[in-house]
C-alpha cells in the first residue's frame, strides 16, 4: 500500500470537514423547520467554528498543492463545497421565512390592557396644589 503525500492527507481532512459541515447544515435545517430558535442559534455558532476550520484547511491545502496534484479528490472537494453552499442558502431562506412568520405572530398579538385604565389610577388626576412647609 502506498503512502499518501502530506497534501493528499490535508485534502482528505478537508473532505471530511466538508462532509461534517454538510451534516451540521442538515441538522440546522431540521431545527429551523421545527421552530427551535435556541438550537438554531447554537447551530449558527457551530457553523461559524466549522467554517473557520475549513478555511484553515483550504489555505493549507492550497499552499501544499503547488507541487502535488490530486485531481479526483479535488473534484470531490468541489462537489462538497457546492453542496454546502446549496444547504447554507436553503437554511438562510428558511431562517428568513421563519423570522417573517415570527414577526407576523408578534404583530398579531394584542395587549388586552392597551385601552384600559390602571387599577392604581383613582379619581380625576393629579394634585392641583402642593403644600411645602419649611
**What is the domain range of residue 99?**
6-108
How many domains is the chain built from? 1
What would the pLDDT profile of 82-101 be if each residue is shown by its tens digit?
888 888 889 888 888 888 88
Is residue 123 in some structural domain?
Answer: no
Q: CA torsion sign, 99 to 101 to 105 to 108?
A: positive
Is residue 122 in some structural domain?
Answer: no
Is residue 1 in some structural domain?
Answer: no
Is residue 62 in some structural domain?
Answer: yes
Distance (Å, whole) CA 69 – CA 5: 10
What's the pTM value of the predicted model, to 2 decimals? 0.58
Is residue 73 in some structural domain?
Answer: yes
3-state per-residue secondary structure call for 8-23? HHHHHHHHHHHHHHHH
Is residue 23 in some structural domain?
Answer: yes
Is residue 131 in some structural domain?
Answer: no
3-state per-residue secondary structure call for 21-82? HHHHHHHHHHHHHHCCHHHHHHHHHHHHHHHHHHHHHHHHHHHHCCCCCCHHHHHHHHHHHH
- Looking up cell 415570527 gives 102
What would the pLDDT profile of 9-51 be if each residue is shown by its tens digit?
888 888 888 889 889 889 989 998 888 888 888 888 888 888 8
> Kindly report the CA angle at 67 between 63 and 69, in degrees rounded to 5?
95
Contact of 91 with 29, CB cutoff 8 Å? yes
Amino acid at each position: 500500500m502506498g503512502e499518501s503525500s502530506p497534501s493528499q492527507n490535508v485534502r482528505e481532512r478537508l473532505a471530511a470537514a466538508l462532509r461534517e459541515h454538510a451534516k451540521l447544515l442538515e441538522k440546522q435545517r431540521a431545527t429551523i423547520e421545527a421552530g427551535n430558535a435556541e438550537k438554531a442559534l447554537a447551530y449558527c455558532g457551530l457553523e461559524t467554528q466549522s467554517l473557520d476550520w475549513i478555511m484553515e484547511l483550504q489555505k493549507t491545502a492550497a499552499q501544499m498543492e503547488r507541487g502535488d496534484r490530486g485531481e479526483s479528490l479535488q473534484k470531490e472537494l468541489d462537489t462538497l463545497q457546492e453542496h454546502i453552499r446549496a444547504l447554507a442558502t436553503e437554511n438562510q431562506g428558511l431562517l428568513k421565512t421563519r423570522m417573517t412568520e415570527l414577526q407576523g405572530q408578534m404583530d398579531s398579538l394584542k395587549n388586552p390592557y392597551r385601552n384600559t385604565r390602571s387599577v392604581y389610577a383613582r379619581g380625576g388626576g393629579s394634585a392641583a396644589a402642593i403644600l411645602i412647609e419649611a
